[in-house]
Every structure is written in C-alpha cells, then in structure tokens.
Amino acid sequence: MKKYLLLATALLIGGTAMAQQALWGRASVKSPEINPDRTVTFRISAPKAIKVEVTGDFLPTQKIQTPFGEFDGPGYAELKEGKDGIWEYTTPEPVAPEFYNYTFRVDGQSMVDPSNVYVNRDVASLTSILLVDGDPIVDLYKVCDVPHGTVSKIWYHSDHEGIDRRMTVYTPAGYETSGKRYPVLYLLHGIGGDEEAWYTQGRASQILDNLIAQGKAEPMIVVMTNGNISQHAAPGEGPEGMKSPNMQLPKTMEGTFETCFPEIVRFIDKTYRTKAQKKFRAIAGLSMGGFHSCHISKQYPTMFNYVGLFSAAISRENPGETDIYKNFDEKLATLFAPKNRPALYYIAIGKTDFLYQDNQNLRKKMDDNGYPYVYVETEGGHIWRNWRYYLADFCPRLFK
C-alpha cells in the first residue's frame, strides 16, 4: 500500500509540475538588454538555425512597396552565433530614446522575442516591444509614478447599424470621485486598427496620465472608437469569433462611419459626465482616422472645436452613394465661417510619408482661403513613432 501511495504522490507532483510549467519556467536568455552606453543587445537561443536576423524600427529604414503606397520599413541586422547556440547582436551605436517594435527572423521565419514577454499586435502582426527612455517626450510613454486614469472597454448600441459595438474610454485620474464634468477628445485609429490601437501601440493612457500630472494638459475623457463600422469590436472580442485581423474590411471609408458618428457622441454625453458643448470637444486621428476626422469635423461644423489630422489620408475618397465626401470646399468654408471656426485645426505629417503630398495639397487649399491652422512636420514616414509624438503635442493645445 505504501508503495502505491508513493507512486501516486510522484505522479501527482509530476503532473502538477507539467501543469505549472508556464508559471514557474523562466527564460534563460536575457533579451533585449539595454547596456550602460545605451547600445542594445538582442539574443535568441536557436542552436539549429543557419541564419538569424533582427528587424525593428531602431534600425535604418528601407523602402517597402504596398497596395497603399511606398512605406519606410525597418531594416535588418544579422545576429552571430555564440556558445550553446545563443545568437547575439549589439547595436553599433547607442539607441535613441523611443518606444520600439522588433521581431526576429530565424531561417526566414518571423517570430517575437521568446525572452521578452512584452508584445503588441498591429493589425495581424505581433511584435516585441522595447522602450528606451531618457527623452522628455519618450518619457511620456512610460508608466510613471503619477495618478492614473481608468481605461474601460465600453459597449454601445448603434441604431444605424443595428449592432452592439465596443469602444475604449479613458477617464482621467479622480474622475470617479470628483463629480466634475470633463471635455472629450475622440481619438481615431488608422486602417486595419481598432479600438485597442491607440491604447496599445499609441500609449495614449500613459501620455495622458503624464501630461495631466505635469499640468501640461487639461484633464479630459478620451474616446478611442472602432472606425471599422462593420465590426462589433477588435478581432477576437466580438461575436465574429477569433477571425484573423484583416485590413480589407467593408464600410471603412465610404461614409457610414461619418454618418454614424453623432450617435457615438450622444452615447458618451449620456453615459459620462461630459461638457457637452462644441468648445469642449476635440477629434483627431491617424491616417484613416485623420480622413474620418477631416470629414466628420466639416460634416458637423458645430460639433468639434479642435481637429487633429495625423498623417491623414486626405484624398482617399470614395463618394459611393453618400454625400459625406461631396462639396468638400463648401463644407470646409462652412466649418471655417466665423460662427463655426475651430479653435485649432492641426495638420501633422512626416517628411517621407507616402501621404505627404496629399497633406500639402490640403495646406494649399487652407492657405488660399485664409483658413488658420497649425502645421507640424517631422522626420520619418507613416509610423507610430510620429503618431505618438503628434498626440503628445496635440493634447496640451486643447481646451485652453
């Protein structure tokens, strides 16, 4: 009997150990490692590999052709194999402060860093992330020891589409107990993104927490919508099930989202303690979200007092069966009429962005008509590094 009891105990311990492997196991390879001179070392265990590379936005860019135009894509660097099949690469120069994305490519197969648990999803791509601090703007992307706002995933019913849809809502520190009413920023994502993009890739909650704590931005509610009006929610979060994320979604830039947007504003004003007036509302977005922000603001000229276009897809218009995109010049004139003129119209673009000329064309239209705006031009192209910077620069200008 004692023999069987010992055997059962051993089997139980072994089974428990197997079940808890993920809990107790730990990576034996340190990667990434930020060195004292701010160079960064990447490592991966791949004893049977023939070729290992790292790719990421910390490396010099290379041109990539896509159906949406020419992009600045990340370059590649080769790792060298060392002892026990550990491959390693150290950047030759210190890495500038920034929030970076990177992956490994092992014999042509892309993979996240198995030693780095911090991962982001951008459309259908998973990337490991790395934050190198030491710059006032980049430090806004960190979780600092300041009062923190609350991030909620909220569902609302779209009467226009007849479905329940989800959005991400940031409320500033103290919202729950202050009893105060707050201004609102509606923050829109790019094509292929969803209501999680600005929260994960964009570091929106960290940026707002830090700016508000520093007294540089007014406490505000930030509503991060899902601009894919055919979706209930981000991939895997709605009744569609765990479908693979897809950039080719219906009803993204044909007018439906713009038509439906007032019901989002009404829902937020009803659900949260908002200052429900034009002078306390802002709208901004990147790429497709900039397109939406441009057309929503001119379609409803009494709704938003602050407009931000971040690398906006200005001319990506498809009139279709809607009048949303028609009579652009006339609607823009109405928006900038003295009684409607926004307090801020903000245009930002990277010098090598494939949408650069579209934005210059909009600027010429604005200049020709004497419409006031703020213009920000940065290095680089159609990348999150720019969009995070634009958000950090845009928010302190609001609700003053």
Q: Please check whether residue 197 is in contact with residue 168, taking contact to mean a CB–CB distance below 8 angstroms.
A: no
Locate 202 and state its tokens: 């964009």
Give residue 370's pLDDT: 97
Predicted pLDDT of residue 316: 53
Residues 91 and 39: beta-carbon distance below 8 Å: yes
pLDDT of 9 reads 46
Q: What is the DSSP pairing of strand 281-286 with strand 184-188?
A: parallel
End-to-end CA distance of the chain: 80
pLDDT at res. 233: 77
Full strand arrangement of the beta sheet holding 184-188: 150-158, 163-171, 221-224, 184-188, 281-286, 306-310, 344-350, 374-378
What is the pLDDT, as a whole number, of residue 11? 41
Regarding beta strands 221-224 and 184-188, do their DSSP bridges make them parallel or antiparallel, or are they unpaired? parallel
Crossing angle (nearest 10°) for helices 384-394 and 204-213:
30
Q: How many CA atoms lie within 13 A of 3 on its CB side?
A: 0
Give the Cα separation of 318 and 99 in Å (integer).
35
Residue ranges, the chain, pLDDT below 70: 1-27, 65-72, 246-247, 316-321
What is the set of domains in the chain, with CATH numbers? Answer: 27-132 (2.60.40.10), 140-397 (3.40.50.1820)
| CA–CA separation, 274 and 267 (whole Å) | 11
List 347's β-bridge partners, or say none: 309, 375
SS3 355: coil
- Give how far Cα 236 sits from Cα of 170, 196, 200, 246, 369, Å: 21, 12, 16, 12, 46
Instruction: Please state the three-class secondary structure of 72-122 as a single string.
Output: EEEEEEECEECHHHEEEEECCCCCCCEEEEEEEEECCEEECCCCCCCEEEE
Q: How confident is the model at residue 320, as a pLDDT? A: 55
Predicted confidence at residue 3, as pLDDT, reads 47
Cα–Cα distance, 59 to 1 (Å, whole number): 65
Position 69 scores a pLDDT of 62
Position 7 scores a pLDDT of 43
